[in-house]
A and B are shown apart, each in its own frame.
Chain A
């Protein structure tokens, strides 16, 4: 049957299963093992990640319910969704906290609520939009506003605020804007402090190439990005 349970730092419990195990066997084994590990869970920080075997949507729902009702665990993730937990992290991933090497901490998918967001108005100072996929803003992003995306960002207006594309670590992303004039741009964790004038009129695209952020005018291209 081969169900192994590994405790990781930060109250995370990884449940490793064989693809061949039956669903009912797994449920039994989980109950069994979790009862032994009860002391491990400390309220809201407890997190369970299932790996190695796919579950259907209804099975996932059932497991989540079971874990919540029996053990008070609300935070449950499955296989491909959950990134591999690092062996030792004392600090929780604080998104967008910069360091001296010009990088910010990346976040995991669990951080986001939405898959993609389409904003049909200007973002004002103090407003923050985040999602695991792409973000389109039909308007400006004003200074003091923040757009954080796991995917790419397109601003059909003037980008004056903060944009972070590839916030989970993807590098195949871009930040595009009609007027690219942010105070700071971030792609895949890398920070670029914007020069006073980038030069050139017209829409621009910022991309991540070989460890740095490069900016080019947006011209129609026959091949894909």
Chain B
């Protein structure tokens, strides 16, 4: 993983924003200086999930249009030293920003930050194009469901066409009990179809709902399985070799996952 990472999926609602918030907080927790950019203009969510919505004065569109200086739009998170947010605009839409403007912005941010995480909107149109401009790596988020996997496949193809070949998969909302019953797509099948490396698996965790509503990323919660998963993924982004969590499975799936992560 490089230092400018776009988190994308194609499909909506699979956990991109939650992932960006948690990996951002996770990296800050590890002492890194991180900026998160919400490119979902018109439908912004990253600010809410981080609990920073009442501190927005300027946003991404203001920056690219020159209404304000970049520094004025950066919101510093008071809980984590080193975590900053560039929020999206809510009253505009995705045509308000161009890929070139994004590239310029990222070049400027790279000088100051260790990591830049870009929250990509659902879809493959202008929002996607804006989000990937300037990105060097991608985390493709999917859930173990056929429609999400098909969209992820499309997105991986599009990322490749944009020159982003460093893509890794994050499988979110995994429920081993459902996999065992055959009600959920097995991880093996997902990885078979998508053919990219796995950066991690986040188990389904109802504490996520509360954490989103409270604006407190779950990565801070030592007791939550999803929190632990995000902490592990954070370490993998930084290059550490962290074994996969035991998601309470005895079906041999764990060994499959460990084999797949061996390359790290």
Interface residues of A (CB under 8 A from B): 122, 124-127, 140, 142-144, 160
Query: Chain B residues with Cβ under 8 A from A140's Cβ?
Result: 193, 195
> How long is the Cα–Cα vector from A126 to B160 in the complex, in angstroms?
13
A sample of 5 more A-B contacts (CB under 8 A), given A124-B153, A125-B150, is A124-B154, A125-B154, A140-B193, A143-B146, A143-B150
Q: How large is the interface on B (under 10, 10 to 19, 20 to 34, 35 or more residues)?
A: 10 to 19
Chain B residues near A127 (CB-CB < 8 A):
157
Q: How far is the CA of A15 from the CA of B157 in the complex (A)?
A: 45
Structural contact, A126 and B193, CB atoms closer than 8 A: no
- Considering the chains assembled together, what is the distance between the CA atoms of A40 and B102 in angstroms? 50
Query: Once the chains bind, are A144 and B150 in contact (CB under 8 Å)?
Result: yes
Secondary structure class of chain A's binding surface, majority of residues: loop
Q: Name the CB-closest residue of B to A142.
A: B153
What are 10 residue pairs bridging A and B, where the CB atoms are less than 8 Å apart in the complex?
A: A122-B195, A124-B156, A125-B150, A125-B157, A126-B154, A126-B158, A140-B195, A142-B153, A143-B193, A144-B150
User: Can you name the residue of chain B whose Cβ is closest to the Cβ of A126?
Assistant: B154
Q: Which of A122, A125, A142, A160 has the most CB of B within 10 A?
A: A125
| The 6 residue pairs across chains A and B that have the minimum distance between CB atoms | A124-B157, A125-B154, A125-B153, A126-B154, A124-B153, A142-B153
Tell me how far the C-beta of B42 lies from the nearest C-beta in chain A, rounded to whole angstroms. 24
Q: In chain B, residues 134-156, which have Cβ atoms closer than 8 Å to a Cβ of chain A? A: 146, 150-151, 153-154, 156
Smallest Cβ distance from B191 to chain A, in angstroms? 12
Q: Which residues from chain A contact B195 at a C-beta distance below 8 Å?
A: 122, 140
Distance in Å: Cβ of A139 to nearest Cβ of chain B: 8
How distant is the Cα of A125 from the Cα of B154 in the complex, in angstroms? 5
Known A124-B153, A125-B150, A125-B153: A142·B158 in contact at CB below 8 Å: no
Which B residues from 144 to 177 make CB contacts under 8 A with A? 146, 150-151, 153-154, 156-158, 160
Chain B residues contacting A144 (CB-CB under 8 Å) are 150, 153-154
Taking the nearest CB of chain A, how far is it from the CB of B147, in angstroms?
10
**Residue ID in chain A nearest B149 by CB atoms:** A143
Interfacial residues of chain B within 67-90, with CB under 8 A of chain A in the complex: none
Give chain B interface residues in 182-215, CB to chain A under 8 Å. Answer: 193, 195
